[in-house]
Amino acid sequence: MNTYIIQENQRGFLFKDGAFVKILTPGKHRFFGSGYSCATLRTAGRFVMENFDAKIFEADDRFRQEVVHAEVEDETVALHYIDGRYDNCLVAGSYDFWAVTEKHDFRVVSMKETEIGEEIPRYVFEYLPRALYKKIEVAPYQQALLYMNQKLVRVLSEGTYYFWNNGTKVEAVFADMRLLQMDITGQEIMTLDKVGLRINFVAHYRIADVVNACTQVQDLNEQIHILMQLALREYVGKYKLDELLENKEQLSRYVFDALKKREADYYVTFFDAGVKDIILPGEVREIMNTVLLAEKRAQANVITRREEVASTRSLLNTARLMEENKTLYKLKELEYLEKICDNVGNITVSGGSDLLSQLTGILRGA
């Protein structure tokens, strides 16, 4: 006698001499005779029995009632839901799942169209194998040119896009639509009088036509950089150092005008351009500092001489007034006596004569 006990969450597969007989439900089962065997499986999840194809058991009524079969064709995927909740994604193939305690639903989605529409909820992509699809994210300040098999399809605005990996090559070329800055740093240029300068220059621009800027211009940033360099060299090479330093604004205006003339060729709009710094060679800088110092000293000497002349003229005018007016002379004399007495400790005088005359005599004798 062969006895088999099947648990509540199990099913038994009875075989006799290697041939399938039937499915055993929970409980105790006895069979007389030889050649019997039983394989026990849990009734949850996917049905898999090693060394046996599920089609062998399809003739059994209980198997058909308790096992759900899903067939996924080529160029399709099936979204698998258990009890209404997403579980996984099934690619092309045959699948069987136990349906004793769980309800299984399958939502078949075609992969023939490369771009994935709204038929798949976006949260599902967090669980799909990345080998199945390609994700393209476009930031709010960007636009992207969408290519399929190297053919431009359309321009993508901000958002997230998904595409099936179905054999079509999907690529995206991104363009920054914000106000952009182009810097030229330490550009070495020779002036007309053979002085080597280093110039830092900046320009601001924005892409006006994203399709043509990306398809008709090779390496837009590099092209604009070269355009600015050529304009700088053309202008600086025509003028001497002193002329350039005196007219930096004209240099900025010249380069900006040159950029504006080429806007249509590069499909951009330039808003401004200007010189940030002009860096002189060490020897030239020392010479110019010496010249500047000499100029400032000369200016200081002129101012000193002018003040001395003004002071002398003032003294002369004062002397003339005192010569013409004796009272004014006496007042001035008293003023000086007052200042001198502030610095004298003790003075002894005798009576019988004018005090002011004695003080004057004492001070003159001293």
Q: What is the mean pLDDT of residues 53-57?
A: 88
State how beta strands 180-190 and 196-207 pair. antiparallel
Q: What are phi and psi of 335, to 5 degrees?
A: -60, -45
**Confidence band (pLDDT; 50, 70, 90) for 49?**
confident
Position 79 scores a pLDDT of: 93
Q: How many residues does the chain have?
A: 366
- Across 41-50, 251-260, 333-342, the highest mean pLDDT is recorded for 251-260
Q: What is the DSSP letter of 28?
A: E
More confident residue, 286 or 161: 161
Q: Does the pTM of the predicted model rise above 0.85?
A: no
For residues 313 and 120, which has the higher predicted lDDT (pLDDT)? 120
The predicted model gives 191-202 an average pLDDT of 86
pLDDT per position as a tens digit, 223-244: 999 999 999 999 998 888 888 8
3-state secondary structure of 329: helix
Output the DSSP codes for 267-281: TEEEEEEEEEEEEPP
CA distances from 187 to 179, 209, 315 (A): 23, 29, 60
CB–CB of 243/270 below 8 Å? no
pLDDT of residue 53: 86
Q: Does residue 46 contact residue 96 with C-beta atoms inside 8 Å?
A: yes
Q: Is the pLDDT of residue 59 over 90?
A: no
Above pLDDT 90, what percent of the chain?
A: 54
